[in-house]
Amino acid sequence: MDASFWHNRWQTNQTGWHERAVNPLLTTHFPSLNVPPGGRVFVPLCGKSLDLGWLLPRGYAVAGAELSELAVTQLFAELKMDARISEVGKLKHFHGEKIDIFVGDIFDLSREILGPVDAVYDRAALVALPEAVRTRYTAHLKSITALAPQLVIGYEYDQTVVAGPPFSVTSDELRRHYSDSYTLTLLAREDVPGGLKGKCPATEHIWRLNKRPG
């Protein structure tokens, strides 16, 4: 699965992962991250998520990484915000009031380019990636965010029945990626109504990750 897969999905409007409302797991559990007032939240593989528009009016700054420039253009249009666009390294930087979105390959995003963040909100970013990429992604995310606390939302289902994305990421796999640096707390687990793509039972789960002391 390469970049052309995702570009094609955006160009043909096959964006089934884009939720038409703010994710209720975010609104319920975001306070548990204890992000300071005015804190900066990083949203990897953010698309044009309405969740960004939920965070901004609550006084938080938002940073995001997204492969599709079309998605980011649509995001700023829907936020009714003009973007100042510049190039930084291999990435395009879309900047608005309290919002910075970096367009391109997330692996080209460094800690220096991203800047400090107080929390990470991973809504279906990890599960968008095939298994071979997830270990590299989680290591990179830990590095560029300096182990900022995270909310991670994903899915579990029988991967032999439905091909991803979204891919199934079990609690055991999540622990393999993160338990060396974080304490993991399961906040909620819910059945997906109608199953995944209507083909097999699935659960959606949300975890809070806090940096291990010491």
pLDDT digits (tens, 9 = 90+) for 71-84: 999 999 999 999 99
User: Which two three-digit tokens encode residue 112?
Assistant: 């220096």
Q: Span 94-114, mean pLDDT? A: 97
pLDDT of residue 148: 98
CB atoms within 10 A of CB 205: 19
Integer-rounded Cα radius of gyration of the chain = 16
21 pLDDT more than 60 = yes
Give the span between the Cα atoms of 73 and 83, in whole angstroms. 9
User: Which two three-digit tokens encode residue 44?
Assistant: 């990897």
214 — pLDDT class (breaks 50, 70, 90): confident
How many domains does one find in the chain? Answer: 1
- CB crowding 53-63: b at 16 or more within 10 Å, else e: bbbbeeebbbb
89 pLDDT more than 50 = yes
| Closest to 22 (Cα-Cα) out of 131, 143, 153, 169 | 153
pLDDT of residue 19: 63
Give the rounded percent of residues in the chain with a pLDDT score beyond 70: 91
Q: Span 175-198, mean pLDDT? A: 95
Q: Span 55-71, mean pLDDT? A: 96
Give the span between the Cα atoms of 168 and 155, in whole angstroms. 5
Show Cβ contacts of residue 133 under 8 Å, excluding neighbours closer than 6 positions.
none
Mean of the per-residue pLDDT values for the chain? Answer: 92
CA distances to 13, 16, 59 from 10, in Å: 5, 10, 29
Lowest-pLDDT range of 11-15, 23-27, 99-103, 143-147 = 11-15
pLDDT of residue 164: 81
pLDDT digits (tens, 9 = 90+) for 120-176: 999 989 999 999 999 999 999 999 999 999 999 999 999 999 888 899 999 999 999
11 pLDDT more than 80 = no
For the domain that residue 24 is a member of, what is the CATH number? 3.40.50.150
Q: Is 138 helix (H, G, I), strand (E, B) or coil?
A: helix
Domain that holds residue 51: 3-211
Angle, helix 3-11 to helix 69-78, in steps of 10 degrees: 40
Give the span between the Cα atoms of 201 and 195, in whole angstroms. 4
Amino acid 102 reads F
On the question of a cis peptide bond just before residue 165, with omega within 30 degrees of 0, the verdict is yes
- The residues pairing with 91 across neighbouring beta strands, listed in sequence order, are 88
